[in-house]
A and B are shown apart, each in its own frame.
Chain A
Amino acid sequence: MDLDTLTGCLASSACLVTQTTSGFIIGMLLFLVAVGLTLIFGVLKVVNFSHGAFYMFGAYFAMTAYQLSGSFALAMLCGAAGTALLGLVFERVFMSRVYGADVLMQLLVCYAFVLIFDDVVRMIWGPEFKSMGMPSAFQVAPLFIAGGVVPPYYLLLIGVALSAAVILGLGLARTKVGKVIRAAAHNPGMVSALGINTGLIYGGVFALGGMLAGLAGALAAPVRSLTPGMGFSVLIESFIVTVIGGMGSILGALIGAILIGMIRSFGSLGFPLFTEGLMYLFMVIVLVSRPTGLFGKEVA
């Protein structure tokens, strides 16, 4: 434990700004992965254990696209679009077969794909780790805000993630498609009785979730090394986020992600050897006091 560093940081504005933004950066990428997870759970009632694989594919797609075209924007697009397509196919061909089955069977199918996808990546891109490299446009000096350091690339990252949150939130609340999706989440039988193709909705939601995870992977590719199995630690953390925030709640995912980001950021100052443990401890506390998470609805 190193509480002096922690209290020292809380007293200095430069440190506070830097660590808070660093908490946001960690949290926002987590949010993109977690929100897909929570969306899929909310609508399809499936705990998508293979979600980390979409993050991984997003990163690899982006890297390949960037190497071929040299365009950062195209790389992001490929990461997102490629995983959306993958999500759609995955849902229609495999997941849709186990909707009626036991939760454990669904988990098992996802687990099978975690194994398969990791090996597929190893076959295509090789077992060694890769790096995409930072586009030259972002190789600039970091900004200084109130004495704190903030790299411009991370501002972009936070911006993208926040706009995704806003678009998703508004889209679900205000648009017609959003209403249908929410209705399908509540009562799929009624929705399909109204002549709406629930298969299409399910496939769409899965594609959307996959796309967001893929986008997170693509955004992370310039700063994180790419290896088969890279989705795994991200998956575990985004699980924590969704469980804390409440499975099925988008606002919950946002708040949960920021909380985890802050725990990591400030926890690494005060408890450098137990940062990970802090997250699990927090998760246990939330689950025990509010089993459905901070923003989850009570299950009947």
Chain B
Amino acid sequence: MTRTRKPGVNRRATLAMMGAGAATLAMPWVARAQAKTIKVGMPTILSGRVAQLGTSSRNGVMIEVDKVNAAGGLAGRQIEMVIRDSKGQPQEAARVARELVNTDGCELLIDAEASSGAFAVHEVARDLGVLCIHTNSETSALTADPKQHIPNAFRTARQGVHDSIVGGSYAASISKAKGLKKWATCAPDYAYGRDTTGEFTTYLKRFAPDTEIISESWPKLFQADYTEVVTKILQAKPQALYSCLWGGDLTSYIDQANIYALFSQMEVFAVNMADYTALTVVKNLPKGIHSGNRYIKTYPATAENAAWGDAYKAKYNEYPTNWSWENATAIMLLAEASKKTNSADGKKLAEALRGLKIKSPFGADGTVTMRAEDQTLVGYAIGWGTTIPQEPYVPQVQAGDWKTIFELEAEWKKSKGYT
């Protein structure tokens, strides 16, 4: 380097250019040539408060990818998963998803992001046209709203509206049997919490018209302290409480409500209770909390499901989560679609996925279906039961009826102006 003696801008510009030069060298921008393996990109959350979402999604994917690869891969091409952390930020999720496709040469995307990240990845899929399977977002609008619809995006996750229909009808039947008229709700203040609670109360009132909501609480997502929420509910003296808090928030809530003896004063319906992440963590789990199933190896009560849960536990030393089965299902569907088309091409796979029905340990009747009209998963196991503090945690699950779900879902879509 020559030493210039010009002051000011030139010197700075030189340094800046040196910096930029070094930057270009440091960046792995050179896309590698397409190999025989097929790369599948997966943006997810591996750090921060919901890192569990990412790790258990990854586990769910990997357990199936290993099986597919052992059986010869997707149309003869071994799957190579490229899994990246988005840190839970939508703009990072979008960036990572774009990079996975543009730089790493991923031909398919598994989007294992939570809600807002999923919408950001959805825009990337719209832009790049790559086949994308959303596995974790339960926000119904993602697939129900025709404005969101793109031919290359699918969803293999539960959906808020399905849960609420089943939850509402289950709660209404308990409500009638026990005379629960006054209800309170307590949900995290974000889209999932608001939508799910709104839909639940709609269907509760529909099935049991004499119920009323007398108190609503909206703690923040990841709030540490629920004391004011617990006491507010106690003040209102409801006969039953509905909550869609989940994960660590739910366990905090239970611990804090326990010392106020809240659970002895009302029937509690917590849709996200029956998930191993919450069940195994809470030390003093109150008996008799009503909950929807998330993933539980005893429901559906089939040998396949129990075997899948046990294999997962054997491999990762913990039970699967709701996200695990949703991500595993994405791989199962891809494998089946590729078998049918004998191809790993995104467009052909998408074609085959529409309306595809596969055998699945997580299906209500042993199968799940990728519904063609809105490209979202239906027919998965969905039901409610009450908890006990030790395994099997939810001994009896009352299955939801998919016929009712379809009817009411169609009605719901109409009311939202989606159809």
A–B touching in complex (CB under 8 Å)? yes
- Using a CB–CB cutoff of 8 Å, the interface residues on chain A facing chain B are 5, 9, 12, 14-15, 18-19, 22-23, 25-26, 29, 118-119, 122, 127-134, 138-139, 141-142, 149, 151-154, 220, 222-230, 233-234, 264-265, 268-269, 272-273, 275-276
Residues of A within 8 A of B116 (CB): none
- Among A23, A118, A153, A227, the residue within 8 A (CB) of B259 is A153
Interface string of B253-289 (1 = CB under 8 A from A): 0011011110000000000000001000111100000
Chain A: minimal CB distance from B254 (Å): 9
Docked-complex contact B235 and A14, CB < 8 angstroms: yes
Docked-complex contact A229 and B49, CB < 8 angstroms: yes
When the two chains form their complex, are residues A29 and B55 in contact, meaning their CB atoms are under 8 A apart? no
Ordered by A's residue number, 6 sampled pairs between the chains whose C-beta atoms are within 8 Å are A19-B231, A118-B48, A133-B283, A265-B231, A272-B217, A276-B220
B-chain residues with CB within 8 Å of residue A223 when the two chains form the complex: 252, 255-256, 259
Contacts of A14 in B (CB 8 A): 235
**Do residues A233 and B281 form an inter-chain contact, with CB atoms below 8 A?**
no
Chain A residues contacting B47 (CB-CB under 8 Å) are 118-119, 122, 127
- By a CB distance below 8 angstroms, the chain A residues around B255 are 131, 133-134, 222-225
Min CB distance, A171 to chain B, in Å? 28
Q: Beyond A18-B231, A25-B227, A142-B260, is A128–B277 a contact (Cβ under 8 Å)? A: yes
Name which residue of chain A comes closest to B249, CB basis: A225
A265: which B residues are within 8 A, CB to CB? 227-228, 231
The reply to whether the CB of B222 lies closer than 8 angstroms to some CB of chain A is yes
Central interface residue in B216, B217, B256, B261, by most chain A CB within 10 Å: B256
Chain B residues packing against A (C-beta within 8 Å): 46-49, 51-52, 55, 189, 215-220, 222-225, 227-232, 234-235, 247-249, 251-252, 255-256, 258-261, 277, 281-284, 318
Residues in B with CB closer than 8 Å to A272 are 216-218
Measured in the bound complex, the distance between the Cα atoms of B350 and A123 in whole Å is 39
A137 to B228, CA, bound (A): 24
Given contacts A15-B235, A225-B251, A272-B216, 12 further A-B contacts (CB under 8 A): A22-B228, A25-B227, A26-B227, A128-B281, A141-B261, A152-B259, A220-B225, A224-B252, A228-B49, A264-B228, A268-B232, A273-B189
Closest to B236 in A: A5
B235-A9 in contact (CB<8A):
yes
Q: How far is the CB of A235 from chain B (nearest CB, A)?
A: 11
Inter-chain contacts of B249 with A (CB < 8 A): 225
CB distance from B226 to the nearest CB of A (A): 9
A94 to B230, CA, bound (A): 41
A276 surroundings in chain B (CB, below 8 A): 220
CA of A291 to CA of B232, assembled, Å: 34
Nearest chain-A residue to B51 (Cβ)?
A127
Report the Cα distance A26→B223, complex, angstroms.
12
CA distance A272 to B215 in the complex (A): 10
How far does the alpha carbon of A144 sit from the alpha carbon of B222 in the complex, in Å? 30
In the bound assembly, the distance between CA atoms of A234 and B49 in angstroms comes to 14
B281 pairs with A225, CB closer than 8 A: yes
A18–B225 touching, CB < 8 Å = no
Known: A14-B235, A122-B47. Is A129-B247 also a contact (CB below 8 A)?
Answer: yes
Within the complex, the shortest CB–CB distance from B58 to chain A, in Å, comes to: 11
Residues of B within 8 A of A225 (CB): 247-249, 251-252, 255, 281
Q: Tell me which residues across on chain A come within 8 A of B234, comparing CB atoms.
A: 18, 149
- Picked from B48, B224, B225, B259, the residue with its CB within 8 Å of the CB of A142 is B259
Chain B positions within 8 Å of A154 at CB level? 227, 259
B contact residues around A5 at 8 Å (CB):
215
CB pair A149–B228 under 8 Å, yes or no, is no
Contact of A127 among B55, B216, B258, B281 (CB under 8 A): B55
- Closest chain-A Cβ to B243's Cβ sits at a distance in Å of 14
The 9 nearest A-B residue pairs measured at CB:
A133-B283, A129-B248, A127-B51, A225-B248, A151-B259, A265-B228, A225-B252, A22-B227, A268-B228
B100 nearest CB across to chain A (Å)? 22
Q: A134 to B258, Cβ gap below 8 A?
A: yes
State how many angstroms separate the Cβ of B59 from the closest Cβ of chain A: 12
* Most chain B CB atoms below 10 A, which of A122, A142, A234, A275: A275
Q: Which residues of B contact A131 (CB under 8 A)?
A: 251-252, 255, 281-283
B224 touches A139 (CB 8 A): no
- Are B235 and A128 interface neighbours, CB within 8 A? no
Interchain CA distance A272-B226 in the complex, whole Å: 13
Which residue of chain B lies nearest to A24 when distances are taken between CB atoms in the complex?
B227
For B189, list chain A residues within 8 Å (CB).
273
User: B residues within 8 A CB of A220?
Assistant: 224-225
Report how far A132 CA is from B248 CA in the complex, Å: 12
Q: Is the CB of A273 within 8 A of B51?
A: no
Report Cα–Cα, A133/B285, bound state, in Å: 10
Q: Hey, which chain B residues are within 8 Å of A222, CB to CB?
A: 255
Partner of A268 from B217, B222, B224, B281 at Cβ < 8 Å: B217
Asked whether, in the complex, the Cβ of A134 is within 8 Å of the Cβ of B277, the reply is no
Partner of A224, one of B217, B225, B247, B277: B225
B225 A269 Cβ-Cβ under 8 A: no
Q: How far is the CA of A97 from the CA of B234 in the complex (A)?
A: 51
CB-CB nearest in chain B for A233 = B224
Q: Which of A220, A223, A230 has the most CB of B within 10 A?
A: A223
A12 to B259, CA, bound (A): 23
From A131, A139, A275, name the one whose CB has the most chain B CB atoms within 10 angstroms.
A131
